[in-house]
Structure 1
Amino acid sequence: MINNIWILIGKKLSGEATAEELLELEELLQQGATDQYPIDMLEEIWKAEHQPKTINKLEDKWSAFESKLDAADTIVVEEPAPAENAETAKPKQGIIRFLKIISVVVAACFALVFVLINKKSVTNNNKPNEIVAPQNGISKIQLPDGTRVWLNAGSKLVYAADYGTEQRNVSLLGEALFDVVKDAQHPFIVTTPTISIKVLGTKFNVRAYNSDRTSETSLIRGRIELTVLKTPEKKIILNADDKVTINNEPLPGAREAVLTPQSGIKEETPLMALSRIHLAKKDTLPSEALWIENKLAFDAEDFESLAKKLERRYSVTISFQNEELKKLRFTGRFQKESIGKALKALQATTYFHYKTDNNQILVY
């Protein structure tokens, strides 16, 4: 079939194919041969390089063409015999041009495929790595340098494909605990929507959910340099057991004023607050990082912030009937309790009511 189709293509391009031969060629091409024999491309190149001429001795021409095909099959290259006259030389020159055109087209196709494959490979190699924790679970990963990271529910960590070669930069949306391998030549940098943290080797917890009113960094050991992205000229140095809380809502340089209904006195909320982590004697980690042990720990935390943690842990939505309820503060630990038992435990310490409608909870 291969030799036959090339003969038919050659006859079509030279304009000497009969109606039966054209019909046979069309049937072969419809059987899938167009993928291997790009007839349209060959025809365009043929028209550019060779104009069909009237050949009187067709038998001599195709005899020479079949000889060329036989020579190609046996990988033997021979010089064509000197033409006896101009009429027999012209068909041979046309066939040689045709074979050259085929070889150029095949080579171009291979080159194009090679370029596309290599381009795709380079693109995939440069694609950043992205890890997303499940909505109701915790993910633990190890970065190429050995740094360990725990991701809380719904959190996302992104780092470049060449992480560790020249720099150790990661982006975080959500909450994560980092246990960073020390490398003085390559500082470890965590960037969130609100803060940037630079470390050499340490262990710390970062909470930076978009839906939260505040962001928080708790340092368990080591030393870190923290920059608030709203005020990049100011840098904060944290030592072990330090915690900094960033207010995500106010504009740079401003302080938020809150009007309390009872007194009418304006209460200012600072852009950031420095405090200490909460570590109980019976715990191996501070309460800010106990989530990696599947514990929900809170110390003197307001109801609004606690509600966000309950929402992520139990996949519910909690709303408040009035603003005052958001300011109620709680201290405790939850591990295996259901959302109903957790709310009843909170209700036993402070006066409030709640009602549920599927996954919707209203506190009033």
Structure 2
Amino acid sequence: MNEDIILKYLQGKADAQECLEVETWAQDSPEHQKTLEQLYYTLFIADRADARDRIDTESALRKLKGEIKKKEKESSYKRSFTRFYRMVGMAAAFIAGAVFAGGVAYGLLSDRFADYTVSTSAGQRAQATLPDGSKVWLNASTSLVYKNSLWSTKREVDLSGEAYFEVAKNKYLPFIVSSKKINTRVLGTKFNVRARAEEHRVVTTLLQGSVQMESPIAPEGRILKPGQSMTIDTHTYQAELVEYSSPNDILTWIDGRLRFNRNTLSSITSLMEKLYDVKFVYEDSSLRNEQFTGDFSTDSTPDAILEVLSLTNHFGFYRKGDVIHLTKQ
């Protein structure tokens, strides 16, 4: 591995191709990753004052050079690190700390290889920008996980909950949303994925571009067109395709709106539990299938929404703390 590129990478000066080279090399074996981490510690541990006071820099650098030489001999990558040694020697004049302090190494670079998680709790929504510039909006009670270090070679996120994506175009590197063994694969598009932990389904709605839905029984995938929504059962992996005349209605949660069009009371209260961090108890299970239509702001309280819906005289309700009981009229 070219040591000049490694140094640029560690200093944050490498371009996309150089980042790809270093990250591919580091992921090739645990030894390479450990070597990269040690180089990082040696070059940048100076920022830690406590390490600066305790460590013999020259001794640590000599030890590190020996470790690198040993690893290079054992590795299939047998390129010389002579120029790197020269750079490390020059850097030593500015480095006041190094890798090994009482046998303990600081896990600074390891953060680059760790999982990144963006999450929301009940009643919250959030927006985030991913490393490639793609944007994602998270609905309430949602978690999104990805590996920052692999982003230049693999654009993949794990989703639990509901999120809307606007994916940066990259025809060479697909963007994959993974949920319950079901993948939504895209190159650049706008779409919404719903994969709630308590629901035995994954629902993908496409607004722009194209996506490919993949499951264990259909690994070749099925292509969606704008305005289409596909629901895949996570038990049987059977798929159902639906055409929407107004697919943007799926995204009302982003704009702070709750719109129901003949939705069952069960689906409405399930959504309200996520938004308002409350619990609903049905004292008559037949109420679950009652259907309602309405348009509300997410700033409305759950009591205000229920007051309007209950004007149909189909049900009543009363509240005990965070638990709302629904009764048959």
Q: TM-score range by the shorter chain?
A: 0.5 to 0.7
Structure 1 CA distance, aligned partners of 2:308 and 2:281? 18
Retained in 1: the 8 A contact 2:122–2:276? no
| Matching residue's letter, 1:159 | Y
What is the deviation of 1:235? Answer: 2.5
Structure 2 CA distance, aligned partners of 1:352 and 1:236? 42
Cα distance change, pair 350–167 in 1 and its aligned pair in 2 (3 A) = farther
From 178, 183, 188, the equivalent of 1:201 is: 188
Deviations 1:248-294 (A, max 9, x none): 4xx427xxxxxxxxxxxxxxxxx432212362xxxxx7221111111
Deviations 1:292-311 (A, max 9, x none): 11112232222222211011
Residue 314 of structure 1 is matched in structure 2 by: 276
Residue 108 of structure 2 is matched in structure 1 by: 121
| Matching residue's letter, 2:326 | V
From 252, 271, 285, the equivalent of 2:236 is: 252
The share of aligned pairs that are identical, in percent, is: 27
Find out whether 1:333 has 2:320 as its counterpart: no
Residue 213 of structure 2 is matched in structure 1 by: 226
Deviations 1:105-145 (A, max 9, x none): xxxxx773397436x23422211211112432211111111
Cα distance change, pair 237–355 in 1 and its aligned pair in 2 (3 A) = same
Residue 180 of structure 1 is matched in structure 2 by: 167
| Matching residue's letter, 1:288 | I
Deviations 1:40-96 (A, max 9, x none): xxxxxxxxxxxxxxxxxxxxxxxxxxxxxxxxxxxxxxxxxxxxxxxxxxxxxxxxx
Structure 2 CA distance, aligned partners of 1:123 and 1:132? 21
Retained in 1: the 8 A contact 2:179–2:202? no
Find out whether 1:360 has 2:327 as its counterpart: no
Find out whether 1:276 has 2:243 as its counterpart: yes
Residue 165 of structure 1 is matched in structure 2 by: 152
Cα distance change, pair 126–115 in 1 and its aligned pair in 2 (3 A) = farther
What is the deviation of 1:358? Answer: 1.2
Retained in 2: the 8 A contact 1:320–1:362? yes
Residue 264 of structure 1 is matched in structure 2 by: none
Cα distance change, pair 114–164 in 1 and its aligned pair in 2 (3 A) = farther
Give the TM-score taking structure 1 as reference length.
Answer: 0.58
Deviations 1:304-334 (A, max 9, x none): 2221101111111012234322112222221
Find out whether 1:288 has 2:238 as its counterpart: no
Cα distance change, pair 163–350 in 1 and its aligned pair in 2 (3 A) = farther
Find out whether 1:299 has 2:261 as its counterpart: yes
| Matching residue's letter, 1:144 | P
Residue 136 of structure 1 is matched in structure 2 by: 123
Cα distance change, pair 163–150 in 1 and its aligned pair in 2 (3 A) = farther
Larger Rg: 1
Structure 1 CA distance, aligned partners of 2:244 and 2:268? 17
| Matching residue's letter, 1:174 | G
Cα distance change, pair 127–115 in 1 and its aligned pair in 2 (3 A) = farther
Q: Which has the higher contact order (CA 8 A, sep 6+)?
A: 2
What is the deviation of 1:156? Answer: 0.9
What is the deviation of 1:216? Answer: 1.6
Residue 98 of structure 1 is matched in structure 2 by: none
Structure 1 CA distance, aligned partners of 2:181 and 2:290? 26
Give the TM-score taking structure 2 as reference length.
Answer: 0.64
Q: How many residues align?
A: 232
Residue 238 of structure 1 is matched in structure 2 by: 224
From 343, 346, 353, the equivalent of 2:306 is: 343
Structure 2 CA distance, aligned partners of 1:340 and 1:361? 9
Unaligned regions of 5+ residues in structure 2, if any?
A: 1-52, 55-97
Structure 2 CA distance, aligned partners of 1:334 and 1:278? 21
Residue 9 of structure 1 is matched in structure 2 by: none
Retained in 2: the 8 A contact 1:277–1:287? no
Cα distance change, pair 166–299 in 1 and its aligned pair in 2 (3 A) = same
Structure 2 CA distance, aligned partners of 1:236 and 1:148? 24
